[in-house]
């Protein structure tokens, strides 16, 4: 059984950084902002991540209330991950970080090496829980 999450820091900024820390959590959130995603979809969108790490990151984000995991009673079982209302609150913050990253790359003369920040319309099925 998975070990429960350690206590989160008391300082709000430190707590926020702890909840979204890691190489992949912001990227995963970026992808689920546009609507529900299956594990296989997320894996295709991020080929560098291992399935083990992806599952671990999703479980942590689910525990912190950023994503919701929904299992559909189908054969074979279908599982989708969706950003929660709390998770969607990070969207403007992550997009601001994306813009800052572009500004930094421009200041360093490396802008031509970056992908654009994509502002996606929210998927109508994104839940508010």
- Kindly write down the DSSP assignment for every residue of 69-89, as one continuous string: EEEE--SS-EEEEEE-HHHHT
To the nearest whole percent, how much of the chain has pLDDT over 70? 86
Domains contained in the chain, CATH given: 21-113 (1.10.10.10)
Query: What does the alpha-carbon distance between residue 47 and residue 88 come to, in Å, rounded to a whole number?
Result: 24
**Is 20 within 8 Å of 90 (Cβ atoms)?**
yes
For the entire predicted model, the pTM comes to 0.80
User: What pLDDT score was predicted for residue 44?
Assistant: 95
Question: What are the pLDDT digits (tens) for 64-89?
Answer: 999 999 999 888 889 999 999 999 99
pLDDT at position 129 is 46
| pLDDT tens, position by position, 22-55 | 899 999 999 999 999 999 999 999 999 999 999 9
The pLDDT value recorded for residue 74 is 87
Token representation of residue 4? 């429960």
Which residues neighbour 92 within 8 Å (Cβ) at sequence distance 6 or greater? none
Structure confidence at residue 1 (pLDDT):
39
- How sure is the predictor about 107, in pLDDT bands with cuts at 50, 70 and 90? very high
């Amino acid at each position: 059984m998975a070990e429960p999450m350690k206590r989160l820091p008391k300082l709000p900024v430190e707590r926020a950084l702890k909840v979204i820390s890691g190489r992949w959590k912001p990227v995963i959130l970026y992808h689920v902002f546009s609507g529900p995603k299956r594990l296989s979809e997320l894996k295709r969108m991020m080929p560098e991540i291992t399935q083990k790490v992806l599952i671990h990151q999703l479980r942590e984000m689910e525990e912190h209330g950023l994503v919701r995991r929904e299992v559909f009673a189908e054969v074979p079982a279908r599982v989708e991950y969706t950003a929660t209302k709390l998770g969607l609150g990070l969207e403007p913050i992550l997009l601001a970080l994306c813009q800052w990253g572009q500004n930094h790359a421009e200041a360093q003369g490396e802008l031509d090496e970056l992908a654009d920040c994509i502002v996606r319309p929210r998927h109508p099925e994104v839940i508010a829980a």
